[in-house]
Every structure is written in C-alpha cells, then in structure tokens.
C-alpha cells in the first residue's frame, strides 16, 4: 500500500506540475508565481494523487469512483485557489473541466498501451512455453 501511495503521489505531482506550467504558459495566472503558489500546487497535486487511490477499490462502480475523484479534485483545487487568493472566474470552470478531461484521456491511453504490452508479453511467453 505504501508503494501505491508513493506512486500516486509522484504521478499526481507530475500531472499537477504539468498543469501549472500550462496555466503559466497560457497566462491564466496573471501574477508572478511565488514559493507559496508552487508549494500549494505540489501539495494539491499530491492530494489528487491520493484521491486517485479510489480507483484501486473494487467495492464501487467505476462511475461512482470517477464522481468521487472529480468532486475531490475540484475541492482540492478550490481550496488551493482560495489559499493563493485567486478568484474563481467563470473561465475557471472551463479550464478545470478541459484539463480534467484531457488528463483522463492521457491516463486512459497510457492504461490501454500498458494493457496491450502486458497482453503481448503473455502471448509471447505462452508461445515460448508451447515451443519447448
């Protein structure tokens, strides 16, 4: 479990850092980044990584897990924005949903590629075992 938490923390920080770079690139944040901004982004991102552990559960349907993740992510983002004194402009909702969907597409594609590789390795191993 510790390994999963560490992996999700690092993954969350990676995605959060990338999202923050996009925010800066597209000048969504109009002020200079501060140390507090950066630390709050990293903490929020780690938290989102922890919330992602909900997908490790078999107890809930996937749609319920997605709902929990979406609401938890939104809550963490809102808290981080309040901490930094950033107002929730109407454009926030558009940016939030677009980034959330974009990251989910990336994650689903990564997962599909990983499953393909695993399946190919299994097929190859079975073929080797049959050949012996």
Q: What is the pLDDT of residues 45-87, one digit of tens each?
A: 999 999 999 988 889 998 899 999 999 999 999 999 899 988 7
Query: Which residue is it, tokens 């695993």?
Result: 118
For residue 54 the two structure tokens come to: 């909900």
**Distance between CA atoms of 26 and 21, rounded to whole angstroms?**
9
pLDDT of residue 132: 64
List the alpha helices (DSSP H) in the chain.
2-25, 35-51, 62-84, 90-131
Relative orientation angle of helices 90-131 and 62-84, to the nearest 10 degrees:
130
Residue 10's pLDDT band (boundaries 50, 70, 90)? Answer: very high
Among 24-28, 29-33, 48-52, 85-89, name the one with the lowest average pLDDT. 85-89
**Distance between CA atoms of 22 and 4, rounded to whole angstroms?**
27
Domain that holds residue 62: 2-131
Among 34-38, 71-75, 89-93, name the one with the lowest average pLDDT. 89-93
Q: Is the predicted pLDDT of residue 122 greater than 80, yes or no?
A: yes
**Distance between CA atoms of 127 and 130, rounded to whole angstroms?**
5
**Distance between CA atoms of 85 and 125, rounded to whole angstroms?**
56
Structural domains counted in the chain: 1
Mean predicted lDDT score pLDDT of the chain = 90
For residue 103 the two structure tokens come to: 């990251």
Mean pLDDT, range 1-5, rounded to an integer: 90
Q: Is the predicted pLDDT of residue 13 greater than 70, yes or no?
A: yes
Residue 96's pLDDT band (boundaries 50, 70, 90)? Answer: confident
């Amino acid at each position: 479990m510790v390994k999963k938490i560490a992996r999700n923390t690092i993954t969350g920080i990676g995605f959060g850092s990338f999202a923050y770079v996009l925010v800066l690139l597209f000048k969504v944040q109009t002020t200079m980044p501060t140390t507090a901004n950066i630390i709050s982004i990293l903490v929020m991102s780690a938290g989102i990584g922890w919330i992602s552990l909900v997908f490790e559960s078999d107890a809930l349907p996937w749609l319920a897990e997605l709902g929990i993740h979406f609401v938890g992510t939104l809550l963490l983002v809102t808290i981080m924005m309040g901490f930094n004194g950033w107002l929730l402009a109407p454009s926030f909702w558009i940016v939030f949903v677009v980034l959330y969907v974009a990251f989910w597409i990336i994650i689903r594609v990564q997962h599909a590629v990983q499953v393909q590789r695993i399946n190919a390795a299994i097929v190859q191993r079975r073929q080797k075992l049959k050949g012996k």
